[in-house]
Amino acid sequence: MEDDIEMKKRKKRIIIILIVAVVLIAVIFSLVRCGSNVAGAIQSAESMEQALPLAEQDLSSSINATGTVESQNVYSVTTDLTCKVKELKVALGDHVEAGDVLCVFDDSDVREQIATLEEQVSASDQLAAKQNQIAERNLQDAKNDQASQINSANAAITDAQSAYDKANADYNNAKNQLDAAIAQGDDSTIAALQEQVGSLSASVQSANEALKAAKDNLTQVQRTTDQTIQSAQDTVDTNALTNSKDAQTTKELAKLYRQLDQMTVVAGQSGIITQLNIAQGGVPNGSLMQIEDNTNLKVKVSIKEKDITKVQQGMAAKITADALPDQTNTGAVNKVINFASSDAKTADQSAAAGTSGSSGSAYSAEVNVDAGSSLLLGMTVKVEITLKEGGKGMAVPYDSIAADDDGSYVYRGKEQDDGNYLIEKVPVTVGDSTDYYTGISSDELELGDLIISTPDDVQEGDTIPLYVPDDTTSYTVDTE
């Protein structure tokens, strides 16, 4: 932790030095034009301590990442048929609804085989084959129904988990703001924050109950559909035991009946055709096409090694795309992948060392996009993950704060009649921190007070000139 703070301080000093250098150049240029003594101006500017007006800052912290929009639900359409495709109803990029016909196979060969076998067996054997076909179809339908119900139940759990994580994050953020307000003695906001914390606590409890109900529903779905599948399997097994002496012929006939049922292929879910592996007149080789749900989206983002331990499931995220400059989409971290593959790790180390290699990150996370997004599959997006919602409060740069045996303090410059400033020591309570600022509170400080940037260079009671930058917004830069 101390190393991180020291690094941030060094970065901040570099920024200050650069800004002071720019100001000095401007001053020197102006003095040269006016014929003033340059050497004297430099000596005067260098002797000044810098101070910044105390202001409110956003104490939230976040990290930025990039990624590509993907579907949460990808459905692969497959077949074991080897018939030619008679009709192809879709093209790459088409949107389909669940139940839409995707393609139709040529069933002429299968019908001829069925007719030949039906001539070889009795009517009772044909009936047995038909019963086998129906039983097999019911078994497959039961398995498909189970997969569909389990997917829906799991999706409900994911939504409930996201809602719980968000409610919990909102509660923790409000609780942090309340604790900060109490520490600062901000009576004007304490009552409102207490009410908000109470309301959010109830929301957390409600979300937790909804999550438990979703998990219970999955258990019930699994139990019920298992029973249905077992019943269908029992029927198939019973039919196999009661087949006639021409069992092999009956079995083959039942297989052909099942193939006849599969000649028309329909979509198992709504979405966009993102892969198409067949053509009209062609013979399939297992995989027909892929359908990606374009309403339930996610983004897989690369996370820097130094940030991966900060990212947690449920953290809120803002998602933007260059293709949609006026829109900001919201979402939440659904999964943190805190395992680095050896290839990605090597690439990261090469990039850090400045040697050749890709610049990807070894770690990643998945962010689920909230419903109603206009993002499209495959879009490259920027994702800002909020690590902590700190809210606004009085804050100063990290190294404006000093400490001794009595606690933390800052030095304030109090303007005197001669234009110089009297240095005063003001005890402070330290609050939340970002990459640049640290929140402080003190009954003795007011917004606009001039806070010395480098407390090690002054002492209480000094009377000195101060340099105050005209544009203090330059101190809010990202120092990463």
* Domain map (residue ranges) of the chain: 2-57+392-476, 63-71+295-388, 107-261
- In 3-state terms, what secondary structure has residue 472? helix
Q: Is the Cα dihedral 225, 226, 231, 235 positive or negative? A: positive
pLDDT digit string (tens) for 356-365? 444 456 799 9
List pLDDT tens digits, range 220-279. Answer: 999 999 999 999 898 888 877 765 555 677 778 888 888 898 999 999 889 999 999 999
| Max CA pair span of the chain | 119
CATH class of this structure's domain 2-57+392-476? mainly beta
Here the contacts of 193-201 (C-beta below 8 Å, separation 24 or greater) are 197/171, 200/167, 200/170, 200/171, 200/174, 201/171
Q: How many angstroms separate the first and last alpha carbons of the chain?
A: 16
Q: Are strands 297-303 and 264-266 parallel, antiparallel or unpaired?
A: unpaired
pLDDT in tens, 283-310: 998 899 999 999 999 999 999 988 999 9
Distance CA 294, CA 71 (A): 6
Position 414 pLDDT exceeds 90: yes
The single-letter code of the amino acid at 279 is A
CA distance 401 to 390: 19
Helices (H) and strands (E) in the chain, counts: 7, 24
0.75 exceeded by pTM: no
- Range scoring the smallest mean pLDDT among 25-34, 140-149, 268-277, 458-467: 25-34
Best CATH choice for the domain 63-71+295-388 from the list 2.40.30.170, 1.10.260.40, 3.50.50.60, 3.10.129.10: 2.40.30.170
pLDDT score for 41: 46
> CA 88: distance to chain centroid?
37
